[in-house]
Structure 1
Amino acid sequence: MRTLVVGGTGMLAGVVHALLDEGDEVTVLARRPERLPDTRARLLALDYRDMEALDRALTQSGPFDRAVVWIHGTAPEAPFVAARHVRGPYWHVLGSAVANPAKQGSRRRERFAALGNDYREIILGFVLEGNSARWLTHAEISGGVLHALHHDLKRHVIGVVEPWTLRP
């Protein structure tokens, strides 16, 4: 299986290792190629904020059978550019802010549907510890993402997003 991982040199490094161990051909898109977690992965060294370079690199490397994509809000169109190069499940990793009860809903799902993607969401929550909370560790994030992939989940929250008032 040809898998694209965006964010695979940081919190998703464990996902890259596991998918390679499972026999996937993994392509990692990274701004910092020196942080590539596994030399068995194929590297696309570029900044996803450059939409033209992103589209060109994915056109040359794709199409992909599936993708796990973590893209910061500094490049709001990049997830849609990446989605055009994925013909199977597209797991979009999102920060906890998407679960904020005070925010209006987005049209994210509709935009992915218009592209014909098999869109799925993984929301990064937090961990409750007594009367306080902490952010997820990289290992917890990778484990939760792999759980979503292995169980083919359409929407998965890693950790919790409620009570929102305890968010770190």
Structure 2
Amino acid sequence: MEHALVIGGTGMLSGATHWLVQQNYRVSVIARNWGRMKRLIDQSEKPSAITPVLVDYCNVTDLRSEIKRIIHENGEIKLVVAWIHSIGKNALPIIAEVISKNSKNKWRLFHVLGSSIDLKKTVRDVDIPSGCRYRQIQLGFVIENDHSRWLNHKEISHGIIDCIQKDAPLHIIGTVEPWNLRP
């Protein structure tokens, strides 16, 4: 069973988390809210395949410790799906560093980003360690019947799954243009 890590996997990424479990991954999920974590586990076809990691990713000391713990318990992390808010700017570098130091093999990082993010700047700003295959997923919006709306959780999870399957360096879910039509 390969080991995956999902940051933000109890909310809009819950469908992707469940899909990873169905693909026979052992999935560690970082979250702060036990109620949402419990709901995610209760809805899983294989609850024992989900390892809850209740940590605030802004607390870098605890985050580092928890990443080391789950690697020790579940083995090398082969795949990461990371939806990290801007307040957690130090989280991704710490996660990548700890995974790389504890990996003998290449691993994939799917970095989920908002619609207004400058992708080129983000890829320059992210310190991508050797052995990491970095992928960007940008969340856009949907234009329907002359109006627009944000993506729903199901559409986001389906887009994440599609990106993991295609393993493309860049994947846009929905559209980000024309910018003036965003909701």
CA RMSD of aligned residues (A): 1.6
Aligned-pair distance for 1:49?
Answer: 0.8
SS in 2 for 1:148: helix
Aligned match for 2:161, one of 146, 163, 168: 146
SS in 2 for 1:5: strand
Summarize the alignment of residues 3-82 of structure 1 with structure 2, pairs less than 5 Å apart. Answer: 3-36=4-37, 37-38=40-41, 39-40=47-48, 41-62=50-71, 63-82=76-95
Percent identity among equivalent residues? 36
* Structure 1: tracts of 5 or more residues without a match: none
Aligned-pair distance for 1:52?
Answer: 1.0
Per-residue CA distance 1:121-162 (angstroms, 9 max, x = gap): 000000011322100000000000000001111110000000
Moved over 6 A (4+): none
Name the CA distance, whole Å, in 1 between partners of 2:11 and 2:166. 23
Aligned-pair distance for 1:108?
Answer: 3.3
1:156 corresponds to: 171
Per-residue CA distance 1:85-143 (angstroms, 9 max, x = gap): 1540000000111159xxxx525345333x22211000000001132210000000000
Aligned match for 2:115, one of 83, 93, 96: 96
Q: Is the 8 A contact 1:109 1:119 kept in 2?
A: no
Higher helix content, 1 or 2: 2
Aligned-pair distance for 1:83?
Answer: 1.5
Name the CA distance, whole Å, in 2 between partners of 1:112 and 1:75. 15
* Pair 1:129 & 2:148 matched: no
Per-residue CA distance 1:67-100 (angstroms, 9 max, x = gap): 0000011111111111221540000000111159
Which amino acid is the alignment partner of residue 178 of structure 2?
Answer: P
Instruction: Give the number of equivalent residue pairs.
Output: 163
SS in 2 for 1:11: coil
Name the CA distance, whole Å, in 2 between partners of 1:107 and 1:164. 19
Q: Give the TM-score normalised by structure 2.
A: 0.83
From the superposition, tell whether residues 99 and 107 of structure 1 become closer, same or farther in structure 2 (CA, over 3 Å): closer
Which amino acid is the alignment partner of residue 78 of structure 2?
Answer: D
SS in 2 for 1:128: strand
